[in-house]
Amino acid sequence: GQQVMQIPQYQHVQEGEDFTTYCNSSTTLSNIQWYKQRPGGHPVFLIQLVKSGEVKKQKRLTFQFGEAKKNSSLHITATQTTDVGTYFCAGPSSNTGKLIFGQGTTLQVKP
């Protein structure tokens, strides 16, 4: 079946270092969405990418959607302790439109 995979599963960085998480889909996606879940919290929508090759920025966060619309990445520049949490990518299922979530990348930031 349709799958969305994310790597790495965990990432520990020193505050100020950069961080990247990668997302790959087994099928072409109409869009990809990114969510962040803080420890003990609920997932919060960050951004949606729709166009092939699209790049969007939110302050220190840069999101990319691949040319083939099968992969995506989230890059955080100069991480801060407030960036701690789990980042999920998600793409819609081709038949019902439900979102298929990647396993998530958990980011720990050492001050």
Enumerate binding residues for another protein (CB under 8 A). Answer: 30-31, 33, 41-45, 48, 50, 88, 91-104, 106
Q: Which is nearer to another protein, 42 or 59 (CB)?
A: 42
Q: Which is nearer to another protein, 44 or 55 (CB)?
A: 44
What is the distance, to the nearest Å, from the Cα of residue 5 to the centroid of all Cα atoms in its chain? Answer: 10
What gap in Å lies between CA 42 and CA 57, rounded to an integer? 23
Tell me how far, at minimum, the Cβ of 107 lies from another protein, in Å: 14
Q: Which is nearer to another protein, 27 or 77 (CB)?
A: 27
Tell me how far, at minimum, the Cβ of 12 lies from another protein, in Å: 15
Phi, psi values for residue 42, rounded to 5°: -115, 160
Tell me how far, at minimum, the Cβ of 53 lies from another protein, in Å: 18
Are 7 and 62 a contacting pair, CB within 8 Å?
no
How far is residue 37 from each of residues 34, 69, 108, measured CA to CA in Å? 10, 24, 12
